[in-house]
Structure 1
Amino acid sequence: MSGLHLTITTPMSLLVDETGVQSVRAEDRSGCFGILPGHTEFMTVLPASVLRWRTAQGALRFCALRSGLLTVENGTAVAVACREGVLGDDLHALEAEVETLRAAEDDADRRERVEQMRLHASAVRQLMQTLRPQRPAGPTAAAFARHPPGGGAS
């Protein structure tokens, strides 16, 4: 068998199980990269992006991914496990879909940061209330100022 064996899976389905793949192109946080037969062992996290591959017949295929994990084993097997994937032939439509996914992920990240900040502020307030020194039960500081201990008045 020449070429790569490409599988793309989601938790609910097997999207692609293709042999003889000539090349795979993907994108991680460091940028775009390509995989050819004989590639070294490799693992990376994929953000929302479009995965591209060239079939044994030379056709170019696409899959929009909602983040995932890509692994290369033995220089012959490329496996992608993703949350969600959409197969299609129109690269521009899939790229628009990915932009929508990225915007949704950015919005979710923003909401999580706001919630973390809210929880942090609440924890700090609770600590301040717990650690705040208790006021003495006796006279106030103003009373001490008028009549200092030790009889400053004659």
Structure 2
Amino acid sequence: MSMASEMHVILRLPDRMLFQGRATSVTAVAPNGAFGIWPNHVDFVTALVPSVLTLRLVDGAEEIFGLDEGLLVKKGHTVSVAALRGVHGDDLDSLQATVEASFVQMDEDERQARSALSRLEADMVRRFAELQRPLK
């Protein structure tokens, strides 16, 4: 692998791409603690815990993201992150408010979806039971 001064970073959620671009460093939190990645860091895979992921972009700007649990893969000069939920923030104060509002809404949406699925499953079981009754 050649020496590089930047890496390609991709942050994916189940329904959309949260970020894609070039960065000089990534900081994140794994189950065993916080860590940093630079372009020539050894390749590895780690789980991510709900935390803040920070990117230092090639222009010197910093991007912060609030992520739920996920997976980070560093291979070559590419860092790929897949997370269940995530939001972009302008600063840590606004990120906390954004995470709370977004994740609470997502939790409510998931609760409603699980409730609807339970009703569908109960209806399906009831219909199968009706099919098994002998005809008179």
Q: TM-score range by the shorter chain?
A: 0.5 to 0.7
Aligned residue among 7, 12, 17 for 2:10:
7
TM-score w.r.t. length of structure 2: 0.67
Question: Is there any run of 5+ residues in structure 2 with no aligned partner, and where?
Answer: 108-136
Q: Secondary structure of the residue that 2:59 maps to in structure 1?
A: coil
CA-CA distance at 1:88 after TM superposition: 1.1
Q: Secondary structure of the residue that 2:28 maps to in structure 1?
A: strand
CA-CA distance at 1:91 after TM superposition: 1.3
Aligned residue among 55, 58, 61 for 1:59:
61
Name the residue aligned to 2:20: 17
Name the residue aligned to 1:90: 91
User: Between Structure 1 and Structure 2, how many residues are aligned?
Assistant: 100
Percent of residue pairs bearing the same amino acid type? 39
CA distance in 2, matches of 1:7, 1:43: 14
CA-CA distance at 1:94 after TM superposition: 2.2
CA distance in 1, matches of 2:41, 2:100: 29
Name the residue aligned to 1:116: none
CA displacement, residues 60-92 of structure 1 (integer Å, 9 cap, x when unaligned): 110100110001001x11110001110011113
TM-score w.r.t. length of structure 1: 0.59
CA-CA distance at 1:49 after TM superposition: 0.6
> Which structure has greater strand proportion?
2
CA distance in 2, matches of 1:44, 1:96: 27
Computed over aligned residues only, the root mean square deviation of the Cα atoms, in angstroms, reads 2.0
List aligned pairs for 1:3-152, cutoff 5 A: 3-19=6-22, 21-74=23-76, 76-95=77-96
Amino acid at match of 2:79: V
Query: Structure 1 residues 98 and 88 mapped into 2: Cα distance closer, same or farther (>3 Å)?
Result: closer
CA distance in 1, matches of 2:30, 2:98: 17
Amino acid at match of 1:83: L
Runs of 4+ in 1 over 6 A off after TM superposition: none
Rg comparison, structure with higher value = 1
Q: Secondary structure of the residue that 1:12 maps to in structure 2?
A: coil
CA distance in 2, matches of 1:28, 1:98: 19
State whether residues 10 and 83 of structure 1, in contact with CA within 8 Å, keep that contact through their aligned partners in structure 2: yes
CA-CA distance at 1:93 after TM superposition: 3.0
CA distance in 2, matches of 1:28, 1:97: 22
State whether residues 89 and 98 of structure 2, in contact with CA within 8 Å, keep that contact through their aligned partners in structure 1: no
